[in-house]
A and B are shown apart, each in its own frame.
Chain A
Amino acid sequence: MQDHPPEFPSDKASQDPAALPRIGFPDGRPETDQPGWRRAFPIDWDRDQFVSRRDFTRLMILTGLAFTGAQFGVGLASLRAGRARPEPKALARVEEIPVGETMRFHYPGPRDPILLTRLSAGVFVAYGQLCTHLQCPVVPRPELGRLECPCHNGWFDLAEGRPMAGPPRRPLTRIRLEIRDGVVHATGVEERTA
């Protein structure tokens, strides 16, 4: 069995002490007194691990800084979102929607799809159509009293818009409704956490 790995011919030039770079070895002895394997691997494990720990901690600090920046970014975004008050909008006449049927509209903006469902003669509900999991459009299943997100098999209660099964954890965005003069109006958007 070999005690040391064989020396490579190309390493012979580096055995000239004058040609060798000055390297501090763990045992403090000069490089000429070191065995071949130590010259090839002049790493002080303890010192190396100390340096890695410092660098690792620095990386964690920078990651935490990014988290804090994101926190303030969300706060600033909330300032902008908090100012927006959508205008009321007429959606449909009451008689245009049969009981148990669902119609699709856009509110408050043209890129915000909502589903308006007539649960009974005088009860309408409307929710944002985007699933609170990953924004897939949900599909009404009035025969089951539910809304389904087909992307990841998420289910919401049709009466309240609350998650029942699957990955979604937050309720669907609720649209406030008012019926004036036989017309269903959307009057606001209600984001919910539970």
Chain B
Amino acid sequence: MSPAEDGHTPDQRRILLDGILFLVGLILMLQLWLLTGTMEAFLGGDLEILWPAALASLACQALNLGLWRCLDQMEPR
């Protein structure tokens, strides 16, 4: 779907793109928080949380990739 065909005015599209950008940033911060928490747990010998946290980070990454794909389609080149 090209930017001209998505039925949004430029202002609407800009708001949507800013929202996507905000979400991507938020998810990135969540990933950073997961990583610091994981490191802290690992250094403290708490190994049970590591793989669930890694899977959660992977899910966040998949979500971010989906958002990026959406942004890439919506944004005019």
Q: CB within 8 Å of B: which residues of A? A: 47, 50-51, 53-54, 56-58, 60-61, 63-65, 67-68, 70-72, 74-75, 77-78, 81-82, 132, 169-170, 190-194
* Bound Cα distance from A7 to B31, whole angstroms: 51
Counting chain B residues whose Cβ lies within 8 A of the other chain, the interface size class is: 35 or more
**Is there a chain A Cβ closer than 8 Å to B4's Cβ?**
no
Distance in Å: Cβ of B38 to nearest Cβ of chain A? 5
Give the residues in chain B near A63, CB-CB below 8 Å: 28
Residues A74 and B64 in contact in the complex (CB < 8 Å), given A53-B21, A192-B45: no
Give the residues in chain B near A58, CB-CB below 8 Å: 68
Give the residues in chain A near B40, CB-CB below 8 Å: 169-170, 193
Q: Are B42 and A64 in contact (CB under 8 A)?
A: no
* Bound Cα distance from A133 to B57, whole angstroms: 25
Give the residues in chain A near B24, CB-CB below 8 Å: 57, 60-61
Main DSSP-derived SS at the B contact region: helix
Give the residues in chain B near A78, CB-CB below 8 Å: 42, 47, 50
Q: CB within 8 Å of A: which residues of B? A: 17, 20-21, 24-25, 27-28, 31-32, 34-35, 38-47, 50-51, 53-54, 57-58, 60-61, 64-65, 68, 71-72, 75-77
Query: Residue on A with the closest CB to B34?
Result: A71
Query: Residue on B with the closest CB to A192?
Result: B44
